[in-house]
Structure 1
Amino acid sequence: MLNNKSILITGGTGSFGKAFVRTVLERYPDVKRLVVFSRDELKQFEMEQEFSPQEFPAMRYFIGDVRDYSRLRRALEQIEVVVHAAALKQVPAAEYNPFECIKTNILGAQNLVEACLDTPTVRVVAALSTDKAAAPINLYGATKLCSDKLFIAANNILGGRNLRFTVVRYGNVMGSRGSVIPFFLEKRKTGVLPITDPAMTRFNITLQEGVDMVLWSIENSRGGELFVPKIPSYRILDVAEAIGPECEKPVTGIRPGEKIHEEMITSSDSFNTVDLGRYFAILPTTGKHGPVHYCDQNGCKMVTPGFAYNSGSNPDFLTVEQLRELIRINIDSSFTV
């Protein structure tokens, strides 16, 4: 699928970017060019130690910011596939620095849309979203919802271009920087695991599952879909029990902009959501990308009106032992309790 293709990934030095690069190099050894676009020269230098252009001739490292249209346009020369992973994503930081978040997550998204529309070689754009973009209550989620809308709406202005835009939305990535499991693994050394709220739940996806889903969307999207995976949930108390059963677990209260349960599909989305088997797809309401036409073309079916996909009501929950095993496999092979 990606052999002999030129690919660019924004935010390519993040957790997802590094896993995506590793997977592409392993599965598609004849990839033509793989461009890491990010603004942090130190992270690029560190990543280059693992994926050097000398060992992997397809690798390129391009310093730039999605806020800068001209730099994006330059980086996209001869690129065919774009994965958009660049974002400011820390909820408290976004609440404190709102316009900085807007400039990267919304204006940066529009810059990328326009740059891709202006680059004749680009064929598919897959943008990463988040469960926090569904019925958002914090600024980060609101900016990602706007970003999602920009990428989906870009399909309306393609003209005659052979180009499609799609969005991939999933829950908390197990082990990603700033997430709860690495935080708890570090805090258990102190004997205290702070619990925001005992009722809190979250969706869970491994980093590799996220990468595989993006690769699937690149190959299978028709344009206009917002893909959502069927994944398990976990209870925050079960995560604490899995990591530090002997630790104290004081309740500290939820942080600004947090939810008790996360959503990926709201009941309002149900009227234009289809079931694809492994994934759901939220579609535009009408037109050639709408659910009726999409189901006719793909043989899928609509979800039940009023359906919602919520981490608290999800029928699939990870057990404490399953969480421990996933931590061993995906985060720390030496992890023991």
Structure 2
Amino acid sequence: MLNNKSVLITGGTGSLGKALVKNILEKWPSVKRLVIFSRDEQKQFQMAQEYSFSNYPQVRFFIGDVRDKERLMRAFQGIDYVIHAAAMKHVHIAEYNPSECVKTNVGGAENVIYAALQTGVQNVVALSTDKACAPINLYGATKLTSDKLFVAANNIRGKNNIKFSVVRYGNVMGSNGSVIPFFLNKRAEGVLPITSEAMTRFNISLQGGVDMVLHALETAWGGEIFIPKIPSYRITDVAEAIGPECEHKVIGIRAGEKIHEEMITSSDSFFTYDLGKYFVIIPQTPIWDVAQYSAEFGATIVPEGFCYNSGTNTEWETVASLRTLIAEHVDSTFKA
């Protein structure tokens, strides 16, 4: 799929960006160009030590901010596929700095869409979050807006042969700023701060996130929101898995946090289809034939009123499975 193609990843020095780079180079060694676009000079410098030009001449590092439309247009020249992973994502920081979050997550999305339409990009996949579903915090609201922008971008593409789609998933195990590495660092202090004993979250591995992005790149018709079928975990089980000897201190939820997360609401059920490994929310005004799409992918519409909630999920991680996953995906030296 990507051999002899040029790919650009915004936010390419983040956890998922780095995992995407590794996977793309392994699966498509003849990729023409792989551009890491981000604003963090230090992270690019560090990543370039691993992907030196002498060993990986197809990899390029491009300093830039998605807030800068002109810089994006320069970076998108000759690019076939764009994976938009750049975002301001910490809930409590976004609550304290709302205008900065809007500039990056909403303005940045608009700029990516504009630059892609102007430069002949063929396919754009934007990363979303479970917090964009029925949002109660600013981060979620900006990502919902971003999702809407990317879905609607298919309606203004004109004669451009371009597709825009979205992938939405829950907490990525071991990603920067997530709870598992936070607890791993905190357990040396003997206290793990728990926001609420009732709290649950969806859980996906970095590889699972990568696989879904690549699935969207390969199969999207334009306007879909792809959602994985993944397990949930209880925050108390994460604490028990990491620090059974620690004090588990309840500190209360932070600004903008939910007890449970959703990825599909009952209102979405009228447009949600089961693809087997994934769910997909199709656009309310698709530019393609829904019956043909269903036949192509064996998609079946979910029951009316269906919702996908981390608290009512049917699949759960246990303390034991979490320990195995942490050792496999986060810290190979981990021992509870």
TM-score, structure 2 normalization: 0.98
Distance 1:74 1:321, change over 3 A: same
Distance 2:257 2:47 in 1: 32
Equivalent position of 1:220 in the other structure:
219
Equivalent position of 2:11 in the other structure:
11
Contact 1:228 1:264 in 2 (8 A): yes
Offset from partner CA, 1:6-43 (integer Å, 9 cap, x none): 00000001111111101111111101000000111111
Equivalent position of 1:179 in the other structure:
178
SS at match of 2:21: helix
Distance 1:57 1:288 in 2: 39
> What count of residue pairs does the alignment treat as equivalent?
336
1:296: Cα distance to partner?
Answer: 4.6
Distance 1:102 1:293 in 2: 37
State the AA in 1 paired with 2:75: A
Equivalent position of 2:235 in the other structure:
236
Q: Is 1:156 aligned to 2:149, yes or no?
A: no
Distance 1:284 1:96 in 2: 33
Distance 1:90 1:316 in 2: 26
Q: Is 1:96 aligned to 2:96, yes or no?
A: yes
Equivalent position of 2:55 in the other structure:
55
Distance 2:133 2:175 in 1: 20
Identity of aligned residues (%): 65
1:298: Cα distance to partner?
Answer: 3.5
Distance 2:67 2:293 in 1: 34
Query: CA RMSD, aligned part only?
Result: 1.0
Moved over 3 A (4+): 289-294, 296-299
Farther-moved stretch of structure 1 (101-110 vs 157-166): 157-166
TM-score, structure 1 normalization: 0.98
1:286: Cα distance to partner?
Answer: 2.8
Contact 2:155 2:287 in 1 (8 A): no
Unaligned 5+ runs, structure 2: none
State the AA in 1 paired with 2:67: R
Distance 1:217 1:290 in 2: 18
1:288: Cα distance to partner?
Answer: 2.8
Equivalent position of 1:30 in the other structure:
30
Distance 2:296 2:316 in 1: 33
Q: Is 1:64 aligned to 2:64, yes or no?
A: yes
State the AA in 2 paired with 1:40: D
Distance 1:10 1:166, change over 3 A: same
Distance 1:289 1:239 in 2: 43
Q: Is 1:307 aligned to 2:306, yes or no?
A: yes
Contact 2:223 2:286 in 1 (8 A): no
Offset from partner CA, 1:271-322 (integer Å, 9 cap, x none): 0000000000011113434755532553311000000000000000001000
SS at match of 2:35: strand
Distance 1:292 1:108 in 2: 34
Equivalent position of 1:130 in the other structure:
129
Contact 1:291 1:302 in 2 (8 A): no
Farther-moved stretch of structure 1 (156-165 vs 30-39): 156-165
Contact 1:105 1:143 in 2 (8 A): yes
